[in-house]
Amino acid sequence: MTIGRVLILTAITAGAGACQDLTCDLGGYKPQEGLQARIRSGVLEVSWQGERREQLRAQFAIRGGQPVVRELAARKSGGNWIVLGQNLTPEFEITSGIRRLSQQQIGPLKELHVELTPGVVEREKWNAFWDAPLMVPGRAGTNLDLPRKPEEIRKVWAKYQSAGCQVKTVGARLEVSFPGLDAGIFTGSLQYTVYRGANLLRQEAIAKTSQPSVAYKYVGGLKGFSISDGSRIVWRDTARAWQQYAFGGAVNREAVGLRARNRLGILEANGGSLGFLPPSHKFFFSREIETNLGYVYYRKDGENSFAIGVRQPDREVGYKPYGISDEVWTRRVTESRSELANFALYNAPPGTMQRMPVYFYLSPNGSHATQEGVMAFTHDDVYKPLPGYKVMVSHFHFHLNEQLTDERSMDVEPTWLSVFRALGINLAILADFHSDSHATDTGKVRLDEQKVYFAGCERFSDRDLLLIPGEEPDANFGGHYMFLFPRPVFFTHVKKPATGPAGQPFQETLQPYGKVYHTTSAENELGLLNQEAGLVWQTHPRAKGSTGYPDVVREKDFFRSDRYLGASFQSLPVDQSEKRLCEARCMGLLDDMNNWAGAKYLLAEGDTYMKYPDDETYPQLVVNYVKLDRVPKYQDGWAPVVDALRAGNFFVTSGEVLIRDWSVEGAGAKRTYAAEAEWTFPPEFAELVWSDGKTVDRQIVSLAGMGPFGSHKFRIPFDAAGKKWVRFAVWDSAGNGAFTQPVHLQ
């Protein structure tokens, strides 16, 4: 690096105090139109172009080793600058506990006679769902090595000893990094990223720990905003009504979590506005419900200043129970109290660089315009309609049969129905008979409940939303798994070595149900699937009650059958060092399954419980776009859905990235993967992944040079010689993405 590429910023004095000399390494900076860094009045100034050609700027300095945001400002093209904040200090608090293996994982491991060696525990604990590291002492019987101890929990605000910064251009974005971040067991750096063509400023702590078994959460924001007559925070509440707070109240000792709709708070300042929000999906670790816990905050620090940012709270808050009868009400109350056992936080394996971002959205316009601008990144929290596709979700324990029976009415519309409609969902596979009803009954009790289940799905299906009665039988295939048939099918199931009533046949005709099946083994479960053209897939593979599966059944006839679709995709666990959602567990399994056997797929699932319109469901849901021209009528069955899934004619997405079409062109060794994709957040990379049946490899196509709200027709040549399968994915800079199912080449 030459001395000409290093700039020394002179000491300056501002209202917030004297700033030290700042050395900025500009060796990786390349100026370009709409994205520049320069020295202005002794301060590092970054300027960039927004979505509607607004001009945006952020100024940085260092004071006593502490990075400082000297100014955030925005203006319309040719207009006056509107200052949104001055002399701001970044703040990050990291709260950590100990990751523990859950008893739910231990159960299937014991059934498989897997010894709980330290190596097994170390490997499996990182996929824990039933873990709540901050709940002391914890609920007995839920995790290994309980009770938890208060001293396990560390809460540390980050401190800094930065002597300079590094400025780097990466495609159409610019990064400013400050080393010297120290947050207890975490050390690393502070980074700011701006994107040409987006009003976003990403502030993140990038840090690692060498400690074992760390689970953590973070608070991230900016403090030091001045309180004036015009200062106020605005947000939409869970009923979508606009609310405001003007800092006229008492000083806060803690951050005030706002249960803001769409995870968005907005600061109004000097005629402009500054939105603050978390990443739309990767910020959220897996839970059983989507209760809005308040993911943005303000904090009045004194009579003259305040802070804003994003947060995860310390614990779960259960959903509102429901029920008419005492039996149902009591069961729902118990089920809703999962906060003691299920609030897993993020994984931080030793040495992994964890990224803890908060987004700010700079705008010269008012708060309502900023709300519209931010919501464009998630299509207003709606899964965007795509011609030739229908949006499908799967695996929800709503207990529809039990609710309708308890209400003694078929015309009590469930609250989750309006949630699905608002999200733009067209197909929903439910999963009654889990912790509800009489799942293992082999006679009239279960069959009558199935009849209500089927009638309820028919009652609430319409032209745009089909409710499909699925079930998670968890009987003889091992682990947990989902059954899907192309029409209502009456069946019972028991798990070996148990048997049904003496003389009960595999298939019989019973009135008023018609054809009824009774399964007692893996062989006749597969027979049922074959006879009724059904599908099965492993739910939450390699996690929860499917720990060890489907790996241990990969040689079984049912796994190798074309009735065995594959497994499900869910963002569990969340490791902020991974570039993809569920990178290791889910995407690794997808590649493994296709190396083990023929075509196997990953289908997005929810595996959640009750839902209400005031929940934050969108950020905690991943969906499937299935190639269908229309939503089937319930009365006609849904064979087109089953056929499309079995053919792999669907892609999985968090919603911000869509893949309009894809195909493998050519023959022989010289082939081309063609795909057309669109996105909202600035994209990160596309990837073509393939395998020869043993070794997985990939070609990464950087998309850092492309802006937000774009699209591209990809044509990626590849050598098909010796390749077994190939698949395609696109991931954006916020951790969102979409992927196609593997195409087998031989």
Q: How far apart are CA 288 and CA 327, in angstroms?
A: 21
Starting from the edge strand earliest in sequence, which strands make up the sheet with 490-493, in order? 490-493, 514-519, 507-510
Task: Reduce the DSSP state of residue 213 to 3 states and report it.
Answer: coil
Phi, psi of 333 (to 5 degrees): -60, -45
The arrangement of secondary structure in 379-655, i.e. its CATH architecture, is Alpha-Beta Barrel (3.20)
Helix, strand, or coil here: 682?
Answer: coil
Whole-model pTM: value is: 0.95
500 phi and psi angles, rounded to 5 deg: -80, -170
Strands 173-183 and 159-160: antiparallel
Residues 611-634 as b or e (16 or more Cβ within 10 Å = b) = bbebbbbbbbbbbbbbbbeebbeb
CA dihedral 449, 452, 458, 461 (to 10 degrees): -80
Q: What is the CATH code of the structural domain delimited by 3-94+156-313+341-377? A: 2.70.98
Residue 457 vs residues 77, 253, 390, 428, 488: alpha-carbon distances, Å:
53, 49, 18, 10, 10
Helix, strand, coil shares of the chain, percent, nearest 5, are 20, 40, 40
Residues 659 and 552 sit within 8 Å (Cβ to Cβ): no
N-to-C CA span, the chain: 51
Question: What distance in Å separates the CA atoms of residue 539 and residue 100, rounded to the nearest whole number?
Answer: 22
CA 498 – CA 633 distance, rounded (Å): 38
At 18 the pLDDT is: 59
* Topology annotation, domain 656-746: Immunoglobulin-like (2.60.40)
In terms of Cα–Cα distance, which of 411, 183, 220, 373 is closest to 297?
220
What the block records as the tokens of 601 is 């797929």
Sorted by sequence, the CB contacts under 8 Å of residue 602 that are 6+ apart come out as: 566, 567, 568, 569, 586, 587, 589, 590, 652, 739, 741
pLDDT of residue 671: 97
pLDDT confidence of residue 447:
97
Q: How far apart are CA 213 and CA 414, in angstroms?
A: 40
> How far is it, in rounded angstroms, from Cα 39 to Cα 27?
15
For 39, phi then psi, to 5°, come to -90, 125
- Give the per-residue pLDDT at 339: 63
The tokens for 473 are: 């039988």
Instruction: Give the DSSP H/E element, type plus range, for residue 8.
Output: strand 6-9
Among residues 235, 209, 192, 153, which one has the least CA distance to residue 61?
Answer: 192
Torsion of CA 117, 122, 123, 128, to 10 degrees: 110
- 164-170 and 22-28 beta bridge pairing: parallel
The list of the chain residues with pLDDT below 70 reads 1-21, 338-339, 498-502
Beta bridge partners, 625, equal: 391, 651
pLDDT at 504: 87
User: Residue 73: what are its φ and ψ, rounded to 5°?
Assistant: -150, 160
User: What does the pLDDT read at residue 77?
Assistant: 86
Q: In the prediction, which pLDDT does 599 show?
A: 97
User: Residue 364 contacts by C-beta under 8 Å, 6 or more apart in sequence?
Assistant: 54, 74, 75, 76, 79, 82, 271, 272
Instruction: Tell me if 624 sits within 8 A of 654, measured CB to CB.
Output: no
CB 736 within 8 A of CB 654: yes
Nearest to 383 by CA among 82, 736, 635: 736
DSSP 503-527: T--SEEEETTTEEEEEE-SHHHHHH
Report CA dihedral (263, 268, 272, 274) to the nearest 10 degrees: -30
Q: Which two tokens stand for residue 328?
A: 């149902």
Instruction: Give residues with Cβ within 8 angstroms of 166, minimum separation 6.
Output: 24, 25, 27, 28, 175, 176, 177
* Per-residue pLDDT at 330: 87
For the chain, the structural domain boundaries read 3-94+156-313+341-377, 379-655, 656-746
